[in-house]
Amino acid sequence: MPKIRVVQIAMKGGPFEVVQRDMPQPGQGEVRIKVQACGVCHSDSIAKDGLFPGIPYPIVPGHEIAGVIDAVGTGVIGWTPGTRVGVGWFGGHCGRCEPCRRGDLVDCRNLRVPGLNYDGGYAEAMIAPADALARIPDDLSAAEAGPLLCAGVTTFHALRESGARPSDLVAIYGIGGLGHLGVQFAVKMGFRTVAIARGADKEPLARQLGAHIYLDSAAQDVAAELTKLGGAKTILATVTSGKAMSAMIPGLAVRGRLVVVGVGMDPIEVFPIDLIGASRTVTGHIVGAPIDSEDTLAFSALTGVRPTIETMPLERAAKAYDKMMRGEARFRMVLTTGL
Ligand SMILES: [Zn+2]
Ligand SMILES: [Zn+2]
């Protein structure tokens, strides 16, 4: 039986261990992916620290998976060995719950996530259900595709679903793992793009990513500045502070939307009149279905949007994870297998 290397977590709170396992075999409706790259995401801490109930330890984390199909299980139609594919947070839907039956796959009440519900991409090979696959265009490397399957689809799909139209004022709040992609997507979608971050030192980066306007939240009343510019049709909030997001709401245009994608632990607070007075909306957004991931990859290949990444070999997963958790990744860490 051929062996593969995987990086597993044996128990809640346990270390990353590089171990050998038997080559997994795809079951009905599944494919085996030869993993070339897997992004390291803050959400991997859910597996590391056991933040969700029922994680099947030992677990291989990783949900920003890019590689090539190398085996196909029974009953799989339309996916063949040799096809370049990726899997993101969406790792399979049930097809039975109400959102599924209404075609809203990403809101499946029984959504499966690779690296949480089954073994993910910190590995040389993994098994994924065929309904979770997105095709990767030829001119996108596996290492670039990885983060686009999580941070990328989150920001791309949130922006295109936000109701903003080309030439509208759109603000991206935060320029980190999510925001550095959000700024690029907003510019390429034809929005008048405002980047918002703390400190004057972030401005050159924001400009380099294509932002038309930069606002420094440490030095300026950002909501007032947005209002002077006519108000933002969409503010994509990628930061992790509910309090900081709250302060942005008065900067929304009439019928503007605060779209929340950053996971914070404190509440968003809003004066009812700030919503009522201009018919504003505060809404959440979660990644996208595999076809949305595929659109994200195709749009990125077409327009030149790329994540800024630092790669490390698979066996250095612990180091890559620690660097990401310390907030020192510029901007996404990606593990590569050399395959
Ligand atoms: Zn992620
Ligand atoms: Zn479902």
pLDDT digits (tens, 9 = 90+) for 138-149: 999 999 999 999
* Ligand 1 mean position, distance from CA 64 (Å): 6
In the prediction, which pLDDT does 1 show?
79
Taking the centre of ligand 1 as the mean of its atom positions, its distance from the CA of residue 3, in whole angstroms, is: 27
> What average pLDDT does the structure give for the chain?
97
- Distance from the alpha carbon of residue 99 to the mean position of ligand 2, in angstroms: 6
Ligand in nearest proximity to the CA of 89: 1
- Look at residue 43 in the predicted model and tell me its pLDDT: 94
pLDDT of amino acid 264:
84
Q: Separation of 227 CA from ligand 1 center, angstroms? A: 33
- Name the phi and psi angles at 190, rounded to 5: 90, 20
- Whole-angstrom distance, CA of residue 203 vs CA of residue 326: 22
196-213: average pLDDT: 97
CA of 132 to the centre of ligand 1 (A): 15
Nearest ligand for residue 92 CA: 2
- State pTM to two decimals: 0.96
For 36-64, the pLDDT digits (tens) are 999 999 999 999 999 999 999 999 999 99
Q: Say if residues 109 and 98 touch (Cβ distance below 8 Å).
A: yes
Nearest to 88 by CA among 112, 57, 59: 112
pLDDT tens readout for residues 102-143: 999 999 999 999 999 999 999 999 999 999 999 999 999 999
Task: Give the number of the ligand closest to the Cα of residue 263.
Answer: 1
113 CA to middle of ligand 2, Å?
A: 13
Q: Give the integer Cα–Cα distance in Å for 166 and 164.
A: 7
Which residues, in sequence order, are CB contacts of 267 under 8 Å at separation 6+? 242
**What pLDDT band is residue 265 in, cutting at 50, 70 and 90?**
confident
Q: What is the pLDDT of residues 271-330, one digit of tens each?
A: 999 999 999 999 999 999 999 999 999 999 999 999 999 999 999 999 999 999 999 999
Which ligand has the minimum distance to the alpha carbon of residue 41?
1
User: How much distance in Å is there from the Cα of 43 to the middle of ligand 1?
Assistant: 6
